[in-house]
Structure 1
Amino acid sequence: MASSTTAVRTDAHRRLGVFAVAFMIVAASAPLTVIAGGATSGFSVTHVLGIPFGYVVLAVFLAIFAIGYAAMSRFVTNAGAFYAYVAQGIGRPAGVGSAVLALIAYNAMQIGIWGMFGFEMSRIIEAKTGWASPWWLWVLFGIVVVGIMGVNRVDLSAKVLGVLVALEFLVVIVFDVIAFANPTEQFTAAPLTPATFFVPGVGAVLAFGIAAFMGFESAAIYGEESKDPKRTIPRATFLAVSVIGVFYALSSWALSLAIGPDKITDPAGISPEEAGPPLFFDFVFGHLGELWVDVMSILFITSLFAALVSFHNAVARYAFSLGREGVLPRALSGVRAHSGAPWAGSLLQTAIAVVVVVLFAIGEIGWDPANGPYAVLTLFTWLTNLGAFGLVLLMVLVSAAVIGFFLRDPRDVGIGARIVAPVVGLLALGLVWILILMNWDVLLGQDHSTVTTFLLPAVLLVPAAGAVVWAFWLRGAHPDRYRNIGHGAEEAAAPHLGED
């Protein structure tokens, strides 16, 4: 078993190229889920026609952020990604705090998506067979499958995700073509103009829309498994944000034409039963028939599955990095000798997902379906919004870290990449994070603030603050471990290069 628990990776484990990493990123963003679920819900909740233009604005924000992020990725290669960036750019205590922030945020995104996955699986099976299966049954089965993929070669996950993402793009393109050819009202480009975006409700649009890009920031997590991380990570990041930004803008524009600009933004124009994914699938049924609805429903589920695999991999690699550097128990640094997959971190994420899902399943006992569409959708709403909240804050911290990293040593990087872009990215993403906080009630579907409104952000922020305190304690109690924070990849590679 010794060879399966070593924390050493070799060149043989560097299997990922630009497109493989880009597929990981796009899979986490889940294109079909965003258009059929995120964009439809965004129109229904915000009543703002300029959502397509909002995706363009967010893509520009993230591309600016990525300039500094990509510049720093040339000098810092670590499976802990943003944790290592913050540790080396701001300081080790902030790095540990950001690591806990990342672990909670990625876990929240992954486990929240399990809620939608279970609901959709149960719904489609009942529609086709009449069997009202419990949602948690399919979630637990899916967790096992994702866990098995998580402990095997990462390029296996990349190949599976590549097929699923390609099919997602194909069916959404089919929808786009039909929608552009059959607009409900007069054809208009208004949804892609600033005039329809900069209106009351613009803050909610940005807060809603940023979740569509979550996973974009994960490229650096695969740096230690990329063939040439100095080139692979920046190229994959820019490729992914460009593709999904343009694709979301065009597809949400098509959606607005399919439903009709007036209807889709009218609070009284769409009933609660029609809102969300039914807007998408009803149009497909009316123009392409039941077979296409079935195909797209299945791909909607595989879209969720692809995102689940991607976020699972992110959590596993953060846990691996923190275990390797002694911030978390070193047992979490275990990797499989033949694949380099962080099996211990993968098992940890699997266990966390099982516990949370079981708790929600128990909490649903006695739930009255007349009160709403099950507690499982609460799981989805609460945790995915919590994840987006945490990941945007993480990107704000990384923007500051890029500035700090290059202030100490410019390393022949131009002022645009090391100062201007990260400053603009910090301000832009800081604004989005504040808007998420201000629109927290809207994102959770609440009419007014409740205990949950304040409790959920605390679930993220309090442990992260505690981790900063923990890091200061490590500085005095365990200086060797403290020095290794954010530098584990270099320390692990130097004395063991070439070992298996």
Structure 2
Amino acid sequence: MFNANAPGGAPNVTTALAADRLGVPAVTYFAISMCAPFTVVAGAITTGYAVTGQIGIPIGFLAMGVVLAVFCVGFVTMAPYVPNAGAFNAYIAKGLGRPAGVAAGWLALVSYNAMQVGVYGAFGDAAQPLIKSWFGVEIAWWAIALGAWALVAFLGTQHIDLNGKVLAVLMVAECLVILVYAVSFLLNPAGNAVSLQTLDPSHLFEPGAGALFSLAILGFVGFETAVVFSEEAKVSGRTVPVATYLSLGVTTLLYVLGSWAISVATGPGRVAEMARANGSELVFRLAHDQLGVAMVGIGRFLYATSVFAALIAFHNAAARYAFAMGRERVLPSFFGQTSSRNSSPRGGSILQSAIGLVGIIAFAIAGVHPLRDVFFIWTSAGSLGILLLIVLTAFAIVAFFAKTLTPESAWKRTVAPVLAAASTLVAFVLVLANFDKTLDVPSDSPLRWAIPGGYLVLLLLGLLWGFRLRARRPRVYTNIGLGAKSVTRTGLGLGSPEEQADTTKFAPINRY
């Protein structure tokens, strides 16, 4: 490990996370857990049917899965060139320039923290009825959320593989219960006939179909985080691509199967009506009628653990973004520190814990509803920011391969990245046009444009800060996007700023 106090180095900043800790399964667990598939199936999908009135949700998930699969071609192809815990901002810095990378880093921190804060509301709401049925006492949702916060804060400072083992158990269990529920729903169809109506591609071209993509992108938030763990992967050039495609494939299958099975069990013509009448209880009511009380109890428990797994994953991802920016001195160097005991991103983890604590206390004082006012609003806001990051990253990938000579095929270097840039931009425009439906607010609600406007302001401020770094702190500016090299190359005199800026001089790391 590099001595940060060497001449020219950044004091109190370590250069790398613990390497060779995570294999394909562990990285996949993190990515899928951030997607929280059972939370999406039981909560977001039923809410989507109720709020949008659209029955094409299954085909919407399938279409978004295809779009993101095309995006992943360039995303994982470029990954060996940017082995950096701050994935999106490193990609964007290399493709669109360092000021854009700074702005993307700010956007990523805000977006992932919005998701993290929102999920605390969902956990309190999911665990509250369980505690009441088990112990006969009713505890405020925010008190339950504080208990989860304490455990997440503790795990965030432990070995990354310990977090991976916890997520493995929770993720496998929730995927199994989705499959059990879905098979039961398909074997007990309404009207004794399995309908394929909700899988009809024509639903993608109906008025208001953009709401389908709004719901779909919310469900897929997290699949991209495999790249965030590239520095800690055993063989990043193989682990990251496999984990990315695997997590995307598994979540797409679960979402399409789960949403289709719900429509089969209720009947396509009644699914929106029943979802409005029952909300997230729809899935458990169907399971109660078909599988009995025991499976409902298991499902409710795994619904809560699904949300808790997402909390762990979001905390770890956001902590690594803060770490990457602290290491490059875009944020104070404290956030670039790792634990001397287990090389976890100590400073970044403390930041996420502080933000989570402040959020829970603020919501408790305000007396807001944990699901409607905390979960739906904040996760919708976070997912919009992450979709914007995906769009910017897609264009950064196109720009990177256009100016950098690499041995990959034309499909990986040009065709797929261009298709991804175009399709993700279209998806973003559709989501933005239907953002009021995603938030479940009136079309004239200030939130509809306040949240996108806030992100625009954040990007502009980030760009200005990047230009300020270029003018006043050129050494810091040169290191933006270089990851672990950001300290070692400058601190040890391993290259001039001009050499560091030339990405074509560095071969892919750990490609095979």
**Native 8 Å contact 1:52 1:248 kept in 2:** yes
Residue matched to 2:438: 443
Structure 1: gaps of 5 or more residues: 368-373
Deviates more, 1:405-414 or 1:194-203: 194-203
1:191 offset after TM fit, Å? Answer: 1.9
Distance in 2, matches of 1:479 and 1:492, equals 14
| 1:302 is the counterpart of 2:305 | yes
Structure 2: gaps of 5 or more residues: 5-10, 493-512
Listed one character per residue, the Cα deviations across residues 167-188 of structure 1 (whole Å, up to 9, x for unaligned) are 0111111101211110122212
Which residue of 247, 251, 276 maps to 2:258?
Answer: 251
Q: Which amino acid aligns with 2:146?
A: L
Residue matched to 1:371: none
Distance in 2, matches of 1:8 and 1:441, equals 43
Deviates more, 1:467-476 or 1:241-250: 241-250
Helix, strand or coil: the match of 1:340?
A: coil
Which residue of 292, 297, 301 maps to 2:295?
Answer: 292
Residue matched to 2:502: none
Alignment of 1:205-244 (within 5 A): 205-244=212-251
1:129 offset after TM fit, Å? Answer: 4.0
| 1:201 is the counterpart of 2:208 | yes
Distance in 2, matches of 1:426 and 1:30, equals 26
1:165 offset after TM fit, Å? Answer: 0.7
Cα pair distance change 1:343/1:70, threshold 3 Å: same
1:460 offset after TM fit, Å? Answer: 2.6
Listed one character per residue, the Cα deviations across residues 20-48 of structure 1 (whole Å, up to 9, x for unaligned) are 11111111111111111121111112222
Which residue of 314, 333, 337 maps to 1:334?
Answer: 337
| 1:482 is the counterpart of 2:477 | yes
| 1:162 is the counterpart of 2:168 | yes
| 1:84 is the counterpart of 2:79 | no
**Native 8 Å contact 1:121 1:301 kept in 2:** yes
Q: Which amino acid aligns with 1:410?
A: L
Deviates more, 1:386-395 or 1:282-291: 282-291
1:193 offset after TM fit, Å? Answer: 2.4
**Native 8 Å contact 1:42 1:209 kept in 2:** no
1:457 offset after TM fit, Å? Answer: 2.3
Residue matched to 1:274: 278
Residue matched to 1:370: none
Residue matched to 1:41: 47
**Native 8 Å contact 1:116 1:377 kept in 2:** no
**Native 8 Å contact 1:48 1:197 kept in 2:** no
Residue matched to 1:95: 101
Q: Which amino acid aligns with 1:274?
A: N
Distance in 2, matches of 1:493 and 1:25, equals 29
Distance in 1, matches of 2:413 and 2:313, equals 29
Listed one character per residue, the Cα deviations across residues 139-164 of structure 1 (whole Å, up to 9, x for unaligned) are 11111111111111111111111111
Moved over 6 A (4+): none
Listed one character per residue, the Cα deviations across residues 445-490 of structure 1 (whole Å, up to 9, x for unaligned) are 1123222222222333322210110110111111101101111322
Deviates more, 1:439-448 or 1:84-93: 439-448
Q: Which amino acid aligns with 1:259?
A: T
Distance in 1, matches of 2:327 and 2:451, equals 29
Distance in 2, matches of 1:407 and 1:480, equals 26
Distance in 2, matches of 1:355 and 1:261, equals 43
Helix, strand or coil: the match of 2:173?
A: helix
**Native 8 Å contact 2:124 2:370 kept in 1:** no
**Native 8 Å contact 1:72 1:402 kept in 2:** yes
Residue matched to 2:123: 117
Which residue of 308, 325, 335 maps to 1:322?
Answer: 325
Cα pair distance change 1:434/1:196, threshold 3 Å: closer
**Native 8 Å contact 2:15 2:485 kept in 1:** no
Cα pair distance change 1:271/1:254, threshold 3 Å: closer
**Native 8 Å contact 2:13 2:333 kept in 1:** no
Distance in 2, matches of 1:179 and 1:391, equals 33
Which residue of 126, 148, 153 maps to 2:132?
Answer: 126
Q: Which amino acid aligns with 1:409?
A: T
**Native 8 Å contact 2:123 2:308 kept in 1:** yes
**Native 8 Å contact 1:101 1:461 kept in 2:** no
Which residue of 196, 220, 224 maps to 1:189?
Answer: 196
**Native 8 Å contact 1:5 1:335 kept in 2:** no
Distance in 1, matches of 2:232 and 2:322, equals 16
Listed one character per residue, the Cα deviations across residues 229-254 of structure 1 (whole Å, up to 9, x for unaligned) are 11111111111111211221122111
Helix, strand or coil: the match of 1:13?
A: coil
Distance in 1, matches of 2:23 and 2:488, equals 21
1:15 offset after TM fit, Å? Answer: 0.8
Cα pair distance change 1:225/1:375, threshold 3 Å: closer
Helix, strand or coil: the match of 1:328?
A: coil
Deviates more, 1:284-293 or 1:95-104: 284-293
Distance in 2, matches of 1:469 and 1:447, equals 34
Listed one character per residue, the Cα deviations across residues 363-417 of structure 1 (whole Å, up to 9, x for unaligned) are 11xx7xxxxxx25530111110011100011011111111111111131122211
Distance in 1, matches of 2:217 and 2:471, equals 39
Q: Which amino acid aligns with 1:206?
A: F
Listed one character per residue, the Cα deviations across residues 90-140 of structure 1 (whole Å, up to 9, x for unaligned) are 100000000001000000111111111111222332344442211111111
Deviates more, 1:285-294 or 1:103-112: 285-294
**Native 8 Å contact 1:226 1:232 kept in 2:** yes
**Native 8 Å contact 2:315 2:349 kept in 1:** yes
**Native 8 Å contact 2:25 2:243 kept in 1:** yes
Q: Which amino acid aligns with 1:356?
A: G
What is the TM-score of this pair, normalised by structure 1? Answer: 0.93
Which residue of 373, 378, 395 maps to 2:373?
Answer: 378
1:493 offset after TM fit, Å? Answer: 4.8
Distance in 2, matches of 1:199 and 1:272, equals 21
Distance in 2, matches of 1:234 and 1:214, equals 17
Q: Which amino acid aligns with 1:39?
A: I
Cα pair distance change 1:420/1:16, threshold 3 Å: same
Cα pair distance change 1:482/1:105, threshold 3 Å: same
Helix, strand or coil: the match of 1:152?
A: coil
Cα pair distance change 1:130/1:459, threshold 3 Å: farther
Listed one character per residue, the Cα deviations across residues 181-232 of structure 1 (whole Å, up to 9, x for unaligned) are 1012221222222134432231111111111100011111101100111111
Alignment of 1:342-381 (within 5 A): 342-364=345-367, 374=369, 377-381=372-376
Q: Which amino acid aligns with 2:209?
A: V
Which residue of 466, 475, 480 maps to 2:461?
Answer: 466
Cα pair distance change 1:412/1:379, threshold 3 Å: same
Identity between Structure 1 and Structure 2 (%): 38
Q: Which amino acid aligns with 2:50?
A: S
Helix, strand or coil: the match of 1:262?
A: coil
**Native 8 Å contact 2:32 2:222 kept in 1:** yes
Deviates more, 1:103-112 or 1:421-430: 421-430
Distance in 1, matches of 2:281 and 2:90, equals 42
What is the TM-score of this pair, normalised by structure 2? Answer: 0.91
**Native 8 Å contact 1:218 1:314 kept in 2:** yes
**Native 8 Å contact 1:102 1:391 kept in 2:** yes
